[in-house]
A and B are shown apart, each in its own frame.
Chain A
Amino acid sequence: MMNWGHEKGQVLLHRMIGLGFFFFVLILILVGRLFYLQILQGEKYLLLAEKNRLSTRLTMPSRGYIYDRNGIILVENAKTFQAIFIREQADDYKKTLSNFLRLIPLDEDEVSRIETELKFKRAFIPVRLKDNLTPDEMITLQLNMPDLPGIQIEEGMIRLYPAGKGNTSVLGYVSLLTDKDVAGDKSNPLLDLPGYRIGRIGIEKSMEDTLKGTPGKRQSEVNAFGRTVRVLSETPAVAGQDLTLTIDSRLQNFATRLLGQYAASAIVINVNTGEILTFVSTPTYDNNLFTLPISHKNWNTLLNDPHRPLQNKALTGLYSPGSIFKLVVGLAGLESGVIQPNKKINCTGKTKLGNQLFHCWKHYGHGPLTFEEAIMHSCDVYFYEVAQKIKPEKIIETARKLGFGAPVGIGISGEQEGLLPTPEWKKAKHKEGWRMGDNLNLSIGQGYLMATPIQIATAVARIASGKNVHPTLFKDKAGKTPEPLPFHPAYLKLLRDGMYDVVNKQGGTAFTSRFNYNGNRMAGKTATTQVRRISLQEREKGVIAQEDLPEKYRDHAIFAAFTPTDKPRYAAVVFVEHGGGGSKTAAPLMRDLLQKVLELEEPKP
């Protein structure tokens, strides 16, 4: 009997000690683990806990407004409502999304965009489901909120261009972000905001930094479900700066209507201040289309239009300036003494250079012409003769001073700089020396020479005012008194006189487009540039009438002008692609445009 109890007790005591030791080890492990988590890793977990607790959300700044010179609103923000979706607030985000799509169907592209964003953006980043909710959609969503966990309706801002399509070429547009934008600038937290838009072209793009403002920040404490428990700190968003432009919205729309369906551009500059009153490129389009994501159909229509509405032709159209460049060559000739203004040069209709013939646009010639008459009639032969006596460098230098060969920098990015060909340039580019033929082509604004309408307008503004005008679209940059041009004023006056004759003297190339608006007349210079070569046979048979050619083979029509003629205030360019001829097409448009400019001119104080 004793054996039954005693031995068992002995074993039990040993085993108790064993178990106790084992438990002791387990407790030590727990203490060690606590020490590891709380002391060694404590900092790290504290940080993670803070990250759990704090939610920082950006609030969208209001984008700056844009006004025209008369204070008319060109761009404003309209309040809209958008549906956004925060994935982490939904138990089953796919279910929420399908519920949403049942209520508000979206097209396939949008659905796939939303699905991609939901998958790849961090769970707490809101994803835009639909912008610009209609009142009906709002009510539908509100009523079905219980089925839509994670979806919220947020007040948003949408860009509105209320002043007409005529302003599109200046303003550009904003549009929603693409993956590329986000990838390109990971540091900009604004890019995570749903419905955030950035300027794509025009002023909206070039002035993005000024217009966009600074986002506000709201730091709040959230619980595990992402619901805000309390707001800890809030920095309000700072609205972007407003801009006042020099353009006149009325003129913009007038010029746009005037140019109609032509692929054309028109620019009007105040020659004393550099303010650009009109800056249009046609055909234009409604930039409001881009604010909502533009539909594929609309986008393709714009993209495939042969008149290229998406190109800002006034800024990026590269053309031969044609006869307008005779003003530059003339000035260079006068300055270098090659031209004596009153010495006549006889035009027989052609100039022979070696065994190459250079034709005047007038087949039988103009006869003997003074400099002023040569400008008036736009005689090619006169300038061929000048070209044979002048170095190309002199012409290029003059052209550069008038604004060719470099971006004018009116305030919109993407400007083309054109091309001023020099012997060095030709050698580098074509591995050929400069020939006299190149000089002759240059003298009538053809050949390698390329310029944009804004450069032509700048040159005319400088000739008209005699000052080194810098055209600009910004009211606050304009108005500084520009310094005089480094040319003899008398020579500039000669050019202006020639341009006066073009319009106001019988026989001038734009005589039919003359006007007298309260004593204000127009002076100008036509240009017609070929877009195809005229063959010798064709020249013999008689040149085919422009009307009989398919549109794409018709000549470009250019007219550069200023008004009034005595004390010029405005310089302008009308450039019509395939318009047929400068005097026939561009000059009458210019007449209407400049009369409108004078009509709308602010009354002088």
Chain B
Amino acid sequence: MSFFKNHTGYLKDYNLSFADKIYRFNYLYLFFICLVVGMGITILYSVAGGNFSPWAFKQTLRFFMSLGALFFISFINLRLLIKYAYWFYAFALILLVLVSAIGHIGMGAQRWLNLGFFVLQPSELMKIALILALARYFHGASLEEIRSIKYIIPPSLMMLIPVAFILDQPDLGTAMMLVFATGAIFYLAGVQLWKFGVLISAVLLSFPIIWSFLHAYQKRRVLTFLNPENDPTGAGYHITQSKITLGSGGLFGKGFLSGTQSRLNFIPENQTDFILTALCEEFGFAGALVLLILYTIIIVYGFVIAHRSKNYFGKILALGLTVNFSLYVFINMGMVMGLIPVVGVPLPLMSYGGTAMLTLFIGFGMIENVHINREMTIGRRGGADGE
């Protein structure tokens, strides 16, 4: 229990007892998160044809496991997060390199490490590690520094190195999320807008070069996205069927366990990335709206918690994690609704999958931690204010 105890030398001015922390914990926030998980498990039950196996039961177990991680992270000292931010980032990067190396030795794309009891996806871990590292970095920077080009290079590299490895896996979805999350943090920290303008123009101009680096299946996905009717049985199948499934739900859906598209396998693997289609088919526009409202509440909470935090690290951390969560929502929903190309991004808290759930809960744990320690001030080097 040493983590919860007072680390002398660090916490001179700010000291919360365990009871204080339990009192300050934001239960309503967690309640909304659990509500979404509950919806997810319900849909997983339905997608399996009204069965707890193979997904709903396992997902429930993972939920409880992740819940444990959330509480644990919530109650450790916020200063430890800032202290070990870079270390955590380094650890995630090593895992990523490891997976890449093993992937090259083995066959085809490899995104995960099998730890025996748990299949770990280092790219998922990296999402949190990067946000943590960036929060620490910008916490220590002055506004002048943030606005200088030189000072922007290290955090850019922090993002680009893992992105390179993740693109190599290849996992376009996760790489995109890292880029967008980093961009959002840069924006929040105060990087001038014209720099974004220059960067975006540069990317657009170099698009033909990027295009040549894309895998054939990625190119096909982009092309199919632009015109799914081109190939309705092949790559366009997913998008076409996804829209049919969504649309056929109508206002109130076909009812629980009555989704024909979902039940008859018209959406392959609809327990993972395309789980929204099952929700929309069985519960209709109303069900989807409830989900979107819950997501919005969770996002708003993240913003409010960030705003209330008295320390800059906490603000950036809460915001970065909330942005990360929002990106999941926007990218997944956008792709399922046929607004953007199909990239492998799960619907947060709904899709079946262990690592995503765990990392999301770790992230929520950190946001709770920021909330609990909202009164805490942290010095520029990570110590108490004025140190």
A residues lining the B interface (CB < 8 Å): 1, 3-5, 7-9, 11-13, 15-16, 18-20, 23, 26-27, 29-31, 33-35, 37-39, 41-46, 48-50, 52-53, 88, 123, 221-225, 229
Give the chain B neighbours of A44 by CB distance below 8 A.
Answer: 247
**A8 near B296: Cβ-Cβ < 8 Å:** no
CB of B46, distance to nearest CB on chain A (Å): 16
**In-complex Cβ contact of A49 among B248, B299, B323 (8 A):** B248
A34 with B289, Cβ < 8 A, contacts A13-B307, A42-B247, A46-B250 known: yes
Any A CB within 8 A of the CB of B2 = no
Residue on B with the closest CB to A5?
B312
Residues of B within 8 A of A (CB): 142-143, 146, 184, 187-190, 233, 241, 243-251, 260-261, 264-266, 268, 280-281, 284-285, 288-289, 292, 295-296, 299, 303, 306-307, 312, 315-316, 319, 323, 326, 330, 333-334, 337, 339, 380, 386
B187 proximity list for chain A (CB < 8 A): 15, 18-19
In the bound assembly, the distance between CA atoms of A19 and B339 in angstroms comes to: 20
Using Cβ atoms and an 8 Å threshold, which residues of chain A touch B190?
8, 11-12, 15
Which one, A30, A31, A39, contacts B330 given CB within 8 A?
Answer: A30
Q: By the criterion CB–CB under 8 Å, are A52 and B244 in contact?
A: yes
Which of these, A20, A23, A35, A49, contacts B261 with CB under 8 Å? A49
Q: How many A-B residue pairs have CB under 8 A?
A: 137
A23 and B299 in contact (CB under 8 A), knowing A30-B330, A34-B246? yes
CB contact under 8 A between A42 and B261, given known A4-B380, A15-B187, A48-B244: no
CB distance from A105 to the nearest CB of B (A): 29
User: With a CB–CB cut-off of 8 A, which chain B residues contact A5?
Assistant: 312
Contacts of B244 in A (CB 8 A): 45, 48-49, 52
The 8 Å CB contact of B264, one of A11, A31, A42, A221, is A221
Question: Given A30-B333, A221-B264, do A39 and B188 touch, yes or no (CB 8 Å)?
Answer: no
In the complex, chain B residues whose CB is within 8 Å of the CB of A27? 292, 295-296
Tell me whether chain B's interface is mostly helix, strand or loop, or mixed: helix
What would 23 A/B residue contacts be, using CB atoms closer than 8 Å? Answer: A1-B380, A7-B143, A9-B312, A12-B189, A13-B307, A18-B187, A19-B188, A30-B330, A34-B289, A37-B337, A38-B247, A38-B284, A42-B247, A42-B249, A44-B247, A45-B244, A52-B241, A52-B264, A224-B264, A224-B265, A224-B266, A225-B265, A229-B264
- Residues on B with beta carbons closer than 8 Å to the beta carbon of A42: 247-251
CA distance A222 to B247 in the complex (A): 20
Pair B288/A46 contact, Cβ less than 8 Å: no
Cβ-neighbour of A38 out of B142, B250, B292, B380 (below 8 A): B250
By a CB distance below 8 angstroms, the chain A residues around B315 are 9, 12
Once A38-B285, A45-B246 are accepted as A-B contacts, the answer to whether A30 and B337 lie under 8 Å apart by CB is yes
With A19-B188, A19-B323, A39-B251 known as contacts, the answer to whether A49 contacts B245 (CB < 8 A) is yes
Measured between C-beta atoms, what is the minimum distance from A576 to chain B in Å?
62
12 new A-B contacts at CB < 8 Å, known A4-B143, A12-B190, A43-B250: A8-B146, A16-B319, A19-B319, A38-B247, A42-B249, A45-B248, A46-B250, A48-B244, A50-B260, A53-B261, A223-B266, A224-B265
**Residues in B whose Cβ lies below 8 Å from that of A8:** 142-143, 146, 189-190, 312
The CA-CA distance from A221 to B316 in the complex, in Å, is 53
Q: A19-B187, A38-B280 are in contact. Are A222 and B264 (CB under 8 A)?
A: yes
**Please, which residue of chain B has its CB at the minimum distance from the CB of A9?**
B312
Q: Are B243 and A45 in contact (CB under 8 A)?
A: yes
Q: With A7-B143, A23-B326 in contact, do A46 and B247 touch (Cβ < 8 Å)?
A: yes
Residues in chain A near residue B265, CB distance under 8 A? 223-225
